[in-house]
Amino acid sequence: MDFWILLWKLVFIVGMIAFGVLAVWVTIFGARDIVHLLATLKGTEDNQR
C-alpha cells in the first residue's frame, strides 16, 4: 500500500505544480491570442466586403 500512497502523493503534487505553471502561461499568452484571433476574423470580414 505504501507504494500507492507515495505514487498518488507524487502525482498530486507534480500535477498541481505543472498546472500552476501552465495556468500562468495560458493567462498571459491566451490574451495575446485573442487579439490575434479577433484581428484575423475582422480582416476576413473586411476582405469579404
Partner 1 sequence: MELLTSVIADTNFSAVDWGIVTIYLVLSVGIGVFANRYVGNLSDYIVAGRGMRTALGVATLTGTEMGLVTVMYSAQKGFTGGFAAFHIGLISGLLALFIGVTGFIVTRLRREEVLTIPEYYGRRYGKGVQIFGGIMLAFGGIFNMGMFLKAGSMFIVGITGMQNESALTVVMVVLLGLVLFYTVMGGMISVILTDYVQFVVLSFGLFLATGLAIYQLGWGHIFDVVIAEKGEVAFNPVAEGSSFGFDYVLWMAFLGLVNCALWPTAVARALAADSEATVKKQFMFSSITFAIRNIVPYFWGICAFVFVMGIPALKTAFIGGEDGATTLDSLYAMPVFLGQILPVGIIGLLTAAMIAAFMSTHDSYLLCWSSVLTNDVAKPLMGEKLTDKGAVLLTRIFVIAIGLLILFISFVYPLKADLWDFMAVTGGIYFIGAFALLAAGLYWKPASRFGAICALCAGSLNVLGLPAVQGMLLGVIGFDEARIEAFHSTFSSERVGLATVALAVMCMVIGSLLVPDKHPYHGKEDS
Chain contacts with partner 1 (rule: CB under 8 A): 1, 4-5, 8, 11-12, 15-16, 18-20, 22-23, 25-34, 36-38, 40-42, 44-45, 48
User: What are the cell numbers at 33?
Assistant: 491570442
User: What are the cell numbers at 26?
Assistant: 495560458
CA distance 23 to 17: 10
CB of 15 to partner 1, least distance (A): 5
CA distance 24 to 17: 11
CB of 2 to partner 1, least distance (A): 9
CB of 7 to partner 1, least distance (A): 8
